[in-house]
Amino acid sequence: MAPAAMSGMPGTKMHDDIDTTWNYLQGGITKIMNNLQDGLDMVTYMGIYTAVHNFCTSQRAVGFHVSASTVSTTGAHRGAHLLGEDLYKKLAAYLTKHLQDLHAESKLHTDEALLAFYIKEWSRYTIAAKYIHHLFRYLNRHWVKREMDEGKKSIYDVYTLHLVRWRDVLFAQVSEKVMDAVLKLVEKQRNGETIEYHQIKQVVESFVSLGLDEGDSTKTTLDVYRYHFEQPFLDATMTFYRNESKQFVAENSVVEYMKKAEARLQEEEERVGIYLHPDIGPALKKACNQVLIAEHSAILRDEFQVLLDNDKEEDMKRMYSLLARIPDGLDPLRSRFEAHVRKAGLAAVAKVAADAEKLEPKVYVDALLEIHTQYQGLVKRAFNDEPEFTRSLDNACREFVNRNEVCKAGSNKSPELLAKYTDILLRKSGTGVEETELENTLSQIMTVFKYIEDRDVFQKFYSRMLARRLVHSNSSSDDAETSMISKLKDTCGFEYTNKLQRMFQDMQISKDLNTGFKEHVQGLGSKGLDSSYSVLGTGFWPLTAPGTTFAPPQEISADCERFALYYKAKHEGRKLTWLWQLCKGEIKANYIRNAKMPYTFQVSIYQMAVLLLFNDADKCTYEEIASTTQLHADPLDPSLGILIKAKVLTMEGAKIGPGAVFSLNYDFKSKKYRVNLNVGMKTETKQEEAETNKTIEEDRKLLIQSAIVRIMKARKRMKHQQLLSETINHIRSRFVPKVQDIKKCIEILLDKEYLERLDDDDLGYLA
């Protein structure tokens, strides 16, 4: 193919040249296509390569040569263009014929034989395509590139041309049958048979390779794979599992079905990793979730209650993991779980609340904690500690903590009992609880506390009990007290614990004050009582002045007077109010016959005043005691009652009161030489509880009113209903106010002229 032979470029001669060239090339291409496994000798390879090279480059050279004489450059390039196009068309036609022959041969095969034939021919064809692509590199570099640069459609590089021909000629005819063979193979594997999955992997790779972007031949898409492989695979998968699951459910229990579904889902995930394209993963997962879970979700959810009732934790975990895969799959489970926990909590309280009046705080709190701990563990282990299940647990706990059998006796009962249990833990006792154990128990108390709605009730009872512990130096540990207050502060904020912290500060100041007072007394050279005083800020301590008159014994009165003078000298203008009902002391009983050593009586100040009267007389009448001590009957009678019950005194008369005569018991006996007579009476406790509850109601009214005023001051004008809603939101962290109570407070503020009524049910703020 010398340049001189082509210089004339007659029309017939051009076709003679291409035919001659193609005839030579075709033999080599056929050998590559059909017998590449036998090897390709270097002479043949270089002959084909050189023929294509010479054909393409000689046309280019002729074009430039002729342009210098009589033929235009454009004409020369057009000639090269026509010859390049002819060579390209010859190759395309050859590939079409080759693939048509393959199609005819494929009709002789079915199922796995067809699959094997397709894979073998695809492998042979694509390897040959790479060789031919390289041999035709000059066609690619010149004619194909120029055509593509000019935006010509349906022109591809030689390798891509091979793929396009395969897709349009052979694949279009056999893809359905090949896919059927693939699906049969997969079904065999699903039925437990061992298959050669590498065949499927090669088919997938083939389908993916055929995804050519018609708009840009340099890019690929997954369109062919998705249409011809992915969608049929998904459809077949859904059909298979729909049929299998219906039959399995009909013949087996729900628990067994869940195990089966779990195993099938795992298999499909592994299948993606082994021989499917990653792109199918999400769609396959969705399809399996639909037929294996969503279509059977009703029976799964119906079984959930059975699993709950029988504590089948492992099966609940399995159900959770399955239903979590489908949209809104867990909502019904959460609702049933919440109802179940609420019911269990109410039953646990009812079991211990046979007599609400005698109910021990520890027993009650333990019953609440037991249910919470049980189902919190279930949420953590079976439900993956999911926030929504935790919310359901919290809702259920809030219900049975605030609205149970015990709370029928009074809506404040839960916070009251919780505060009492905390008091028991933090008081000095003979139980000897370890610090670590105490800290854990306090943390558990806070677990219950977070569900309490009436937190102001807890605060009132807790502060009263803390005050008693501090005043009577009866706390088991300052660290434990501080820890509890810190926990309350973290949960409710600084304002909630402000007064509690100030109480501790007052006790510390009082310690320093007592040290100074003792030094002062020693400096005077006088000998006072071994006394200790606590000075408590009126605004911070939940204590009230005694409800009785009282004339303390001379010894006590003198020491108190001395301390009062010392205190006023340090803090001019401050007034001391003596809280006699909280005072206590010790007296020695030297009068008792046959005692190896004197008894020491631990008494209240009222009991002390009564007993000191017997220093001057063996007998005293009720009237004499009342006159000397100036005590009212309410505190006096219980004090005498304890002394009589303990047999420190004996009484002549039917009952304590006017006419009764009291005598010292010289034959008093006790196993202990320190005898505690300062014990509270049930009547005192009930009275104190009633006072606390009364204080709570009064404080709530003030709190609601102050909240309304703050809201209205900021807004100036509001709808009545909107004010109700905002007030509830403002206060709910302390307690849940009743709408009726808020309305009453609005009326009070209207009467006090803090608010005024405006048009359209509006309320206005009056500055």
For the stretch 113-136, pLDDT in tens is 999 999 998 988 888 889 888 888
Handedness of CA 619, 624, 629, 632 (dihedral sign): positive
Does residue 479 surpass a pLDDT of 80?
A: yes
**What is residue 74's predicted lDDT score, i.e. its pLDDT?**
37
Residues 510 and 517 sit within 8 Å (Cβ to Cβ): no
Average pLDDT score over residue span 484-490: 93
Going along 348-449, which residue ranges are E strands?
none
Asked which of 60-74, 274-288, 440-454, 499-513 is least confident by mean pLDDT, the reply is 60-74
Q: Write down the pLDDT at residue 294.
A: 95
More confidently predicted of 442 and 137: 442
What CA–CA distance (Å, rounded) separates 117 from 127? Answer: 16
Environment class of 161 (CB within 10 Å of its CB; exposed 0-12, middle 13-18, buried 19+): buried
Cα dihedral across residues 686, 690, 691, 695: positive or negative: positive
Lowest mean pLDDT among 527-531, 543-547, 552-556, 598-602: 527-531
pLDDT at 733 over 80: no
User: Chain-wide mean pLDDT for the chain?
Assistant: 85
Residue pLDDT, tens place only, 345-369: 999 999 988 766 678 899 999 999 9
d(C-alpha 33, C-alpha 98), whole Å: 9
pLDDT of 78 over the 50 cut: no
pLDDT at 68: 27
Tally of CB atoms within 10 A around 744 = 14
Domain boundaries, the chain: 3-153+161-174, 229-309, 583-680, 686-765
Distances (CA, A) of 714 to 155, 440, 756: 75, 43, 15
3-state SS, residue 472: coil
Most trustworthy range by pLDDT among 298-312, 431-445, 669-683, 695-709: 298-312
Q: How far apart are CA 443 and CA 445, in angstroms?
A: 5
Lowest mean pLDDT across 14-28, 62-76, 606-620: 62-76
**Percent of all residues in the chain with a pLDDT value above 90, rounded to a whole number:** 43
Q: How far apart are the C-alpha atoms of 239 and 98, rounded to whole Å? A: 38
Task: Tell me if domain 3-153+161-174 and domain 583-680 are identical in fold.
Answer: no
| Statement: residue 430 has pLDDT above 70 | no
Q: What is the pLDDT of residue 717?
A: 85
What pLDDT is recorded for position 50?
80
Q: In the CATH scheme, what is the code of domain 583-680?
A: 3.30.230.130
CA distance 692 to 457: 9
Give per-residue pLDDT as tens, 310-341: 999 999 999 999 999 999 999 999 999 999 99
According to DSSP, the residues that pair with 651 across neighbouring strands are 662
Distance CA 1, CA 230 (A): 51
Class of domain 3-153+161-174: mainly alpha
Predicted confidence at residue 386, as pLDDT, reads: 95
Give the pLDDT band of residue 767 (cuts 50, 70, 90).
low
User: What do you get for the CA distance between the two ends of the chain, in Å?
Assistant: 110
Instruction: Give the per-residue pLDDT at 580.
Output: 92
Q: Are strands 674-676 and 599-604 parallel, antiparallel or unpaired?
A: parallel
Residue 9 contacts residue 17 (beta carbons within 8 Å): no
For residues 124 and 651, give the distance between their C-alpha atoms in angstroms, rounded to a whole number: 121
Residue 757 confidence (pLDDT): 86
Share of the chain above pLDDT 70, in %: 90
Q: Which residues, including other chains, have CB under 8 Å from residue 479's CB and lie 6 or more apart?
A: 435
Query: For the residues 559-584, what does the mean pLDDT come to?
Result: 89
The CA-CA-CA angle for residues 221, 225, 226, to 5°, reads 90
Flag whether pLDDT at 67 surpasses 80: no
Angular region, 653: left φ>0, alpha ψ -120 to 50, beta rest? left
Judged by DSSP in three states, 382 sits in helix
- 661-664 and 649-652 strand pairing: antiparallel
Distance between CA atoms of 231 and 655, rounded to whole angstroms? 97
Look at 349-363, 379-393, 443-457, 589-603 and tell me which has the smallest mean pLDDT.
349-363
Does position 661 have pLDDT exceeding 80, yes or no?
yes
- Predicted local distance difference test score (pLDDT) of residue 109: 87
Q: Is residue 260 predicted with pLDDT exceeding 90?
A: yes
pLDDT band at residue 605 under the 50/70/90 scheme: very high
CATH for the stretch 686-765: 1.10.10.10
* pLDDT value at residue 356: 62
Fold of the domain built from segment(s) 229-309: 5 helical Cullin repeat like (1.20.1310)
**594 pLDDT above the threshold of 60:** yes
Q: Indicate if the pLDDT at residue 691 is higher than 90.
A: no
Amino acid at 143: W
Identify any residues that bridge with 664 across adjacent strands, giving them in sequence order.
Answer: 649
Count of beta carbons in the 10 Å neighbourhood of residue 291: 21
Whether pLDDT at 218 is above 70? no
Using only C-alpha atoms, the chain has a radius of gyration, in whole angstroms, of: 49
pLDDT of residue 472: 87
What gap in Å lies between CA 268 and CA 245, rounded to an integer?
15
Q: Is the pLDDT reported for residue 140 higher than 70?
A: yes
Cβ atoms < 10 Å from Cβ of 361:
17
57-66, 164-173, 279-288, 752-761: the lowest-pLDDT one: 57-66
Band of residue 72 on the pLDDT scale cut at 50, 70, 90: very low
Q: How confident is the model at residue 410 (pLDDT cuts 50, 70, 90)?
A: low
- Of the pLDDT bands very low, low, confident and very high (cuts 50, 70, 90), residue 5 is very low
pLDDT of residue 523: 79
Backbone φ/ψ region at 433: left (φ over 0), alpha (ψ -120 to 50), beta: beta
Q: Hey, which residues does 757 pair with through a beta bridge? A: 763
Q: Sorting pLDDT into bands at 50, 70 and 90, what band is 484?
A: very high
Residue 13 has pLDDT above 50, yes or no: no
Q: Which has the higher per-residue pLDDT, 735 or 410?
A: 735
- 190 versus 430: which is more confidently predicted? 190
Kindly report the CA angle at 570 between 567 and 573, in degrees rounded to 5?
A: 80
